[in-house]
Amino acid sequence: MLTPKSIIENFEEIKKKLETRGPYGELIDEFREVTLREREKLRELEKLRAEKNKLSEQFIKHKTEGKEFGGIIQESKKIGEKINSLGEEMAGIAQRWNELITSIPNIPHESVPVGKGPEDNTVERVVGKPPDFSFSPEPHWDIGTRLGILDFERAAKITGSRFTVYFGAGALLERALINFMLDIHTKERGFKEVIPPFIANKDSLMATGNLPKFADDLFKLELKDYRWYLIPTAEVPLTNIYRNEILDGSILPQRFVAYTPCFRSEAGSYGKDVRGLIRQHQFNKVELMVFYLPETSFDELESMTSAAEEVLKRLKLAYRVVSLCTADLGFASAKTFDLEVWMPSRNNYMEISSCSNCTDFQAGRANIRFRRGPKAKPEFVHTLNGSGLAVGRTVSAILENYQEKDGSVLVPEALRPYMNGLER
């Protein structure tokens, strides 16, 4: 776990690893400086308190013996003022220390490719072949609008941009995909289905690493003295199921899957994917979440990625698996595999799932531990999460990859039982 002690004792090594993720050098330098200053001030405070305690003993002795003690009182008062002043200074240091420690990302795993951006990500494998159309394929937003199953204009009237109204077969397709994905993960992969709250508190978002770094990307809810957030992903409530708990190690691993709507302001993404279903403020997602033993968590990452891949294989959509480089990792992740589905409108691949091992980073922030035995020392679990899959993006991929020359869209065979037998 990335603790203050480990940062100070292994400073150069950790700084070097963090700098492969981005410009974190100054932040980690300041963290060390503030940590050492806090320790120095604490020693000063302890010394002053010891002096004050000594004066208190002298005061009692002088008073008992009838000796003059006015000087002792004055000296004690001066030390008390120094203690108060030092306490105020330390409060400011502590506040800055907390801001810094919560802004330090996870350490990349040694197997993660070092890079400066998405162009340095590594393609692990390519599965399936993109469709070969005898006509010029349409983008999904045109297909959905023409078929009357997606309505972006009326959604904008109701709420604003980056929302969608689904009608008829479009709504059925979205619902069918949710049930299809849940059935694969629960019936075949052993995940336990969960319906969590779609609203989370600040502590929950601090635990996953969404706060404070991604505060601008969250939708806030305020009511009197309460403040909540609409969840950006089910990872948030699922991770916090065991917050501040010590688990019996015999129950690990714990594998959960949840369908939830997700809400993101998409701060900083304006101008990107403004049309269609790709970057919406509200979207549906099926999320995988695992609490695992530290020594084999990276094997579990491979298994989780395979579970997400299975959905794409059943839908017969061409995709590739990409290992993200250090600079492209999410804040809490130590290693991430992205699944990218083929999109004819882009003539390229598009992310549809991100599967990450956060090691003990989130567990440390959320205080989630386990014991290997009744008297064993508690250890932090490893947490893993992944999309299994993003539903709206899967709808867009089906509309584009299964479109026909006559303007219709075929329904993937695996989905037809979930769509009352509808074939197109």
By annotation, the residues acting in catalysis are 264, 279, 351, 354, 393
If one counts every other C-beta atom within 10 angstroms of the C-beta of residue 188, the result is 10
Give the whole-angstrom CA distance, residue 388 versus residue 223.
Answer: 33
If one counts every other C-beta atom within 10 angstroms of the C-beta of residue 192, the result is 12
Q: How far is CA 337 from CA 315, 370, 400, 409, in A?
A: 20, 26, 24, 30
Q: What token pair was written down for 172? A: 């059925």
Q: 356, 365, 411: which is closest to 386 by C-alpha?
A: 356
